[in-house]
Amino acid sequence: MDIRTIMTAAPIAVRAESPLHVAIELLIEHEISGLPVVDAENRIVGVVSEKDILALFGGRDSQIVGDLMTADPITFSVDAPLVEVVDCLMTYDFRRVLIHQAGKLAGVVSRADVMPVILDLLRERARPNER
C-alpha cells in the first residue's frame, strides 16, 4: 500500500503567524483535530492540534499559531513505507503525521486514514484459501 493512496492530499494548513482564532475556526469547520503549519514556500515548520490549543485554558497567553504549535514534527516522505507511518502512529500520542515531497507539504495521514487499510487486510485474511 502506498502512502499516496490513503493520505489527504493538499491538506488545509496555516502559517506560524496565523491568528489562533483562525486555526480554531478551521479545526471546527472541517471537523479535524490538527493542522500542518507551513512557511511561505509550503515547507513544514510545525503542527498545531486541539491538544496544543487546550493550553489556552491553562492560562497561557498566546495569540498566534507559532506560540502553541509543535515545531519540527515527525514527517514522512511520500515514498516512505506505510508500515513506518503506522508504527509511528502506534508509538506516539499524536493522531496524524505530515507527509512531504522534497520538503514541502504533500499530505496528511491520520489514524482514521489507516483504518480502511486494516479492514481490507482483515477481510483478506478471513477469505477461505482459494488455491
Kindly list the domain boundaries of the chain, sorted by start residue. Answer: 3-126
pLDDT one-digit tens code per residue, 62-118: 899 999 999 999 999 999 999 999 999 999 988 999 999 999 999 999 999 999 989
| DSSP assigned state of 54 | G
pLDDT attached to residue 124: 87
| DSSP assigned state of 105 | E
Closest residue by Cα to residue 49 from 118, 97, 102: 97
Parallel, antiparallel or unpaired: strands 8-9 and 104-110: antiparallel
Phi, psi (deg, nearest 5) at residue 130 = -100, 35
CA distance linking residue 111 with residue 94, whole number of Å: 9
CATH homologous superfamily of 3-126:
CBS-domain (3.10.580.10)
Q: Band the pLDDT of 44: cuts 50, 70, 90.
A: very high
CA distance linking residue 12 with residue 96, whole number of Å: 13
pLDDT attached to residue 130: 55
Parallel, antiparallel or unpaired: strands 96-101 and 104-110: antiparallel
Please report which residue ranges of 7-127 form alpha helices under DSSP H.
Answer: 20-30, 50-53, 65-68, 82-91, 111-126
Query: How many other CB atoms are found less than 10 A from the CB of residue 118?
Result: 10
